Amino acid sequence: MSTSTSTEAGTAPAQAAGRDISDVVIRVEGLRKEYKMGSEVVRALRGVDLTIRRNEYVAVMGPSGSGKSTFMNLIGCLDVPSGGQYWLNGQPVAGMSETALARIRNRELGFVFQSFNLLPRASALDNVALPLIYARVPKKERRERAAAMLEKVGLGARMDHRPNEMSGGQRQRVAIARALVTQPALLLADEPTGALDSRTGEEIMALFGELHTQGQTLMLVTHEADIAAYAQRVLFLKDGVIERDERKRD
Ligand SMILES: Nc1ncnc2c1ncn2[C@@H]1O[C@H](COP(=O)(O)OP(=O)(O)OP(=O)(O)O)[C@@H](O)[C@H]1O
Ligand SMILES: [Mg+2]
């Protein structure tokens, strides 16, 4: 940030560069991940360069074992890279302490998983409010924000239901509400429709589409072309590198 406060900021190129930087949510350069398996090393990511700007909707595709989940886990600060650079909202992530990473996961990122990962004994409202406890939001505001988010995903009438009292699609909506309640800079989803029938999956994709229209930045992993077709931009991973990066014209 400090590098962009120049006295010459009035010139056109400097303004353009400033806008450019502020628009970038994700920037990675030469991102690598190796897993040691006994004496062998699995090179899961072999140097990924990528920029994701605000309000982009990106799908990551690729065959099984190509590194999709590994990439998602690194972007989501759930795991640390073996090498390369990563900036989230202009902040360098490499070398951050576990506490700082936990804070970033809570404040900047929202996660949606194939298997929902909800607390089984907690109501939809309590599940959605949970990230706000970690963010130290007062109780009354937590309940209000969680309720508003459940309304937004179409579950206003199901707030007191527990996960086992809801359908798969409704559970995934709760998970999406939970991911969004902290207003994250980036929503990450790994195979979000993988456990749903195709009609319910389409409903969830329609919800992601609405969120995108409202300004959300999204990145989702899928191995289904039908699902990837909802995104604006598709990255194809192969053997730990981005083989293709396709943008749709809309
Ligand atoms: N924890 C781990 N320890 C060792 N190797 C791993 C680990 N996680 C992933 N790998 C290896 O890294 C490579 C990439 O795995 P990854 O899970 O990222 O693939 P993927 O593209 O998500 O596949 P899928 O479509 O099956 O989910 C694979 O060769 C995998 O075996
Ligand atoms: Mg995977």
Q: Which atom of ligand 1 is nearest to the CA of 71?
A: 18
Check residue 12 and give its pLDDT. Answer: 44
The residues placing their C-beta within 5 Å of ligand 2, an ion, are 68-69
Band of residue 9 on the pLDDT scale cut at 50, 70, 90 = very low
Query: Does residue 237 surpass a pLDDT of 70?
Result: yes
Please tell me the predicted confidence (pLDDT) of residue 11: 41
> With contact defined as beta carbons under 8 Å apart, do 211 and 187 qualify?
yes
- pLDDT category at 2 given cuts 50, 70, 90 is very low
Q: What is the Cα–Cα distance from 29 to 185, expressed in whole angstroms?
A: 20
Q: Which atom of ligand 1 is nearest to the CA of 33?
A: 12
Residue 21: CB atoms within 10 Å: 14
- Judge if pTM exceeds 0.95: no
Distance 69 CA to ligand 1 centre (A): 7
User: Rounded CA gap, 33 and 37, in Å?
Assistant: 13
Distance 148 CA to ligand 2 centre (A): 32
Ligand 1, atom 8: closest residue by C-alpha: 70
Q: What is the pLDDT of residue 246?
A: 96
Does the pLDDT value for residue 17 go beyond 70?
no
Q: Which atom of ligand 1 is nearest to the CA of 35?
A: 4
Q: How crowded is residue 115: how many other Cβ atoms within 10 Å of its Cβ? A: 12
For the chain, how many structural domains are there in total? Answer: 1
Angle formed at CA 212 by CA 47 and CA 153, multiple of 5 degrees: 120
Closest CA to 129 of 121, 140, 120: 140
**Which residues make Cβ contacts (< 8 Å) with residue 162, sequence separation at least 6?**
120, 121, 122, 123, 124
**Ligand 1, atom 2: closest residue by C-alpha:** 35
Structure tokens at 220: 């989702």
- For the ranges 3-7, 55-59, 222-226, the lowest mean pLDDT is seen at 3-7
Tens digit of each residue's pLDDT (9 = 90 or more) over 132-169: 999 999 999 999 999 999 999 999 999 999 999 999 99
* Residue-level pLDDT at 157: 96
Write a three-state SS string for the chain: CHHHCCCCCCCHHHHHHHHHHHCEEEEEEEEEEEEEECCEEEEEEEEEEEEEECCCEEEEECCCCCCHHHHHHHHCCCCCCCEEEEEECCEECCCCCHHHHHHHHHHHEEEEECCCCCCCCCCHHHHHHHHHHHCCCCHHHHHHHHHHHHHHCCCHHHCCCCHHHCCHHHHHHHHHHHHHCCCCCEEEEECCCCCCCHHHHHHHHHHHHHHHHCCCCEEEECCCHHHHCCCCEEEEEECCEEEEEEECCC
Expressed as residue numbers, the domain containing 47 is 3-248
Residue 248: pLDDT band with limits 50, 70, 90: confident
pLDDT attached to residue 166: 97
Name the residue at shortest CA distance from atom 6 of ligand 1: 35
Per-residue pLDDT tens over the stretch 173-211:
999 999 999 999 999 999 999 999 999 999 999 999 999
Question: Contact 179/110 with Cβ under 8 angstroms?
Answer: yes
High-pLDDT (> 70) share of the chain, %? 91
CATH number for the domain spanning 21: value is: 3.40.50.300
| Predicted confidence (pLDDT) per residue in 42-99, tens digit | 999 999 999 999 999 999 999 999 999 999 999 999 999 999 999 999 999 988 999 9
Ligand nearest to the CA of 67: 1
**Which whole-number Å values give the CA distances from 35 to 30, 80, 168, in the listed order?**
16, 11, 33
pLDDT in tens, 109-119: 999 999 999 99
> Which pLDDT band, with edges at 50, 70 and 90, does 250 fall under?
low
230 CB-near residues (< 8 Å, 6+ apart): 57, 59, 205, 208, 209
CA-nearest residue for atom 17, ligand 1, is: 69
pLDDT exceeds cutoff 60 at 102: yes
Q: pLDDT tens for residues 19-36?
A: 455 799 999 999 999 999
